[in-house]
Structure 1
Amino acid sequence: MPQPDAGQIAGAASRLSQCRTRGELGRAIAEEAGRFSLYDLQRIGGGIRREVEALPEPYRSRVRPYFEEQIFGAYHRLMCSHRSGAFARMDDPIPDPEHFSAFVALIPRGCLDRKGSQTDIGFSKPLHTLFYYLVTGYTIFVEGGPGHPVGTPFPGGFAVERRGNEYYCPIRDKEEDVPFSICNVCPARQMEGV
């Protein structure tokens, strides 16, 4: 039996797959993200807070602002760029077409296959997971940044780093067996020695 949000999720993924430039993609993501109500955003924020509150201190306090930045900082930048018309000036191709195709392909299953998707971050609905993929797709394929913001701490004392024009992540290659993880399409490289 199809899930109630399956059509909207499949439609969003199909729409993104048709984009060829960073500007087209930014505009499409902004329009899809603009469909979320204030109530949806509050529920998504609540899911993130619940997830963070389950973490032990002092890690909880260190990671909280990065989780919020990853979702709502990206959403704010996305909507500001859309409203300012910035996407009209972005006519360069979407970087890394192979990873972009893989990203678009993982959206429907990552949102709807709830068994062990490990992408939820406490999200209660498949559409909330879609929001996660939308803002992460914006960060990676329009802005050209890593899926997790620079500075995001991970257990063991390591954090996402920027060195020149390259990004390094302590968990990049460790997520390969998590099929719906954004790490599988992230431009960051695996941090050496971790």
Structure 2
Amino acid sequence: MNTEDLLASLRKAARDIPMADIMKARAFMVRSASGLPKKYREAYSNELFSHLYNVFNEISRSKKPENIENIDPEEYEEFMRRLEEMGISEDKNQEYFNKLVRITAPYLVFIAKRPIHPIGMTFPGGDRVVEKDGIYYCPVKDKQNTVEVALCKFCICRDAEEMVKGSKWKMGL
């Protein structure tokens, strides 16, 4: 499979999802974030949903990827396995959220080559996903690599620690 084939498949899947299902995904995100502190609740339920929704619309409107590249079948299979392992909670709307992620995440990872989480999203501890000199950094990238269902392994972001080390090296420390 290549990026053109994947985009065609994702575009078809996106066009087949009714807006009511997108709203159910949003409802799931709001409910699942209800126990978080306000700052993180807003980041998850507002920023992340807006990011996923904008990517979803981008996929629906897209014609062809900028670069047509082959996708490593083993990497893609592992990525999709992790997506399929996303749990189902008692909230029946989680399946709608999972469908949204199954469309947007492969697009971000394999086609757009952008972070899965939105730039600027705040994580617990106050750290954010940032972009510096065309490189994306995430505060949880390396901390999530051992989590079986985490998608961080596939995300284009580098660990935020690399940005700190790079700054020290540039300053001669």
Out of 122-131 and 154-163, give the one that drifted further: 122-131
Task: Report the Cα distance in structure 2 between the residues aligned to 1:75 and 1:137, rounded to whole angstroms.
Answer: 11
Aligned position for 2:39? 58
Structure 2 stretches lacking a partner, 5+ long? 165-173
Task: Report the Cα distance in structure 2 between the residues aligned to 1:94 and 1:73, rounded to whole angstroms.
Answer: 25
Q: Which amino acid aligns with 1:58?
A: K
| TM score, norm. by length of structure 2 | 0.78
Contact 1:52 1:60 survives alignment (8 Å): yes
Contact 2:115 2:156 survives alignment (8 Å): yes
Contact 2:26 2:45 survives alignment (8 Å): no
SS of the aligned residue for 2:136 comes to strand
What's the offset of the Cα at 1:139? Answer: 1.6
Task: Report the Cα distance in structure 2 between the residues aligned to 1:170 and 1:36, rounded to whole angstroms.
Answer: 32
Identity %: 22
Which structure 2 residues correspond to residues 21-60 of structure 1 after superposition, within 5 A?
22-60=3-41
Structure 1 residues 91 and 155, CA gap change in structure 2 (3 angstroms): closer
Aligned position for 2:115? 146
| TM score, norm. by length of structure 1 | 0.71
Aligned length: 161
Structure 1 residues 182 and 60, CA gap change in structure 2 (3 angstroms): same
Contact 2:24 2:96 survives alignment (8 Å): no
Correspondent of 1:79 among 37, 60, 78: 60
Correspondent of 2:79 among 99, 103, 118: 103
Task: Report the Cα distance in structure 1 between the residues aligned to 2:44 and 2:31, rounded to whole angstroms.
Answer: 13
Contact 1:123 1:129 survives alignment (8 Å): no
Q: Which amino acid aligns with 1:69?
A: S
Contact 2:56 2:100 survives alignment (8 Å): no
Q: Which amino acid aligns with 1:176?
A: N
Structure 1 residues 166 and 98, CA gap change in structure 2 (3 angstroms): farther
Larger Cα Rg: Structure 1 or Structure 2?
A: 2
Aligned position for 1:15? none
Task: Report the Cα distance in structure 1 between the residues aligned to 2:72 and 2:10, rounded to whole angstroms.
Answer: 17
